[in-house]
Amino acid sequence: MPLKSAFNLIPALALLTVSACGAQQLPLNPAIVSGQQGLNGLRASGQLPASTLPPEAPPLPNAKRLDIRLFRSSGTAENVVIQARVIEYQGEAPQPDESRWRTILRNLNGITVYEVPGVKVRFNLNGQAVYGVSDKEGMIRLSTPNFGPLTPGLHRLNAEMAGGQPYTATPSSEVLSIHASQDQSLAVISDIDDTLKFSNVSNKLDAARKLFFQSPFEARPIAGMPVLYQRLEARIDGQSNDGDIFYLSGSPLNFSRQIYTFLDHQRFPQGAVTLKKWGFGADSDNPLIQTEYKLRSLRDTLTRHPGRPFLLFGDSSEADAEIYQQIAAEFPGRVRGIFINNVTQASAQDPRYQNVHLTRSSVEAAVILQQMGLLTPEDVVAVQQSLAP
């Protein structure tokens, strides 16, 4: 069975993700909520205004160093979704000048992480603070109204280790996209592998080589797509880089750093990035199943933004066309267009592609978007010029 991302080409590696043992379980208080609930049934964590929060106590002696991984998420002016993971320290983020061996080691470490449960983390935004406690898989997943009101656009959510624990961690910061509650402007949901990034998932050996040996600074974008997304994101509501593009990938959360680094290095507009939480439990994403994962994620995004129409971008390497058309049928009038990057030289006469734009290049996609009134002739020229070496 063909699989969407290179990570799914090696499903046995999912079994390498293990949980750390013996971490201290901290008692909860009214200002703390454990991250054990799924995103479809989250409760808000407690909060205190930053001005009234007592100062954090220092860590206990001989504190163990951990990583707090924040994931790019989104919210509305009234409600914010937080996703984070507490793991054993894995080193700094990818660097442009790191050695090949360091890249390989980093990618291997991304497959196997050691999660730490029972760790209290403080999240700061808009002069407010919210606490969460990592669950048995190191995850913290919260939905809270306590940062609001927030202005639409991109914000920075900050996370730090709460004091008085046998742990320490460097504070982390990540992009948070805030959308107006009644926003009716156009938005984009985009796949990544072979839609924005040349992954070559149809060639299993080459995909595996890229997975383990390639730095995110070396990864090649699909030619012209960074400029296409920059122009489209600015045109659809008159504001550039304000979080109107939602990224959806079947890659695991463990590779979030590499994915964010690639997107930022290639200057794709920043926005929420949905990734798989690998696992076989009820609250995890099966690494072997792509279709149901994507359908569930798409339904969640369209449901959380009920007034917005969407453009959907994917590729022909697997089932994006069928998945997107099913979503269009389930949400009548909400899907303005489906764009499929033809990386497999599929025939335009194939019934699977009769209701989609099957494109061979970013320029072809830009021309169609111009015909739809979403880009200008100048935008098309800019995309074409970006192809020059």
Kindly report which listed range (33-42, 97-106, 153-162, 275-284) carries the lowest average pLDDT score: 33-42
Closest CA to 369 of 354, 380, 355, 381: 380
Confidence check: pLDDT of 313 > 90: yes
Structural domains of the chain, with CATH: 9-179 (2.60.40.10), 182-385 (3.40.50.1000)
Q: Calculate the average pLDDT of the chain.
A: 84
**For residue 58, what pLDDT is reported?**
84
What is the residue type of 200?
A: N
In Å, how far are 137, 295, 311, 366 from 369, measured between CA atoms? 43, 25, 10, 5
Confidence check: pLDDT of 360 > 90: yes
Confidence check: pLDDT of 204 > 80: no
**100 compared with 180, residue with greater pLDDT:** 180
pLDDT (mean) for 69-78? 94
What is the residue type of 56?
A: E
Nearest 5°: the CA angle 216, 267, 95 is: 35
pLDDT (mean) for 111-127? 92
pLDDT tier for residue 359 given thresholds of 50, 70 and 90 = very high
Closest CA to 305 of 177, 150, 157: 177
Nearest 5°: the CA angle 320, 323, 328 is: 120
**For residue 2, what pLDDT is reported?**
36
Confidence check: pLDDT of 41 > 50: no
In Å, how far are 55, 128, 149, 164, 361 from 52, measured between CA atoms? 9, 10, 18, 18, 55
Beta bridge partners of residue 179, listed in sequence order: 76
pLDDT tier for residue 350 given thresholds of 50, 70 and 90 = very high
Tens digit of each residue's pLDDT (9 = 90 or more) over 3-32:
343 334 333 333 333 233 333 333 323 233
**For residue 54, what pLDDT is reported?**
58
**278 compared with 81, residue with greater pLDDT:** 81
pLDDT (mean) for 91-100? 80
Query: What tokens appear for 206 in the block?
Result: 């080459």
Confidence check: pLDDT of 362 > 80: yes
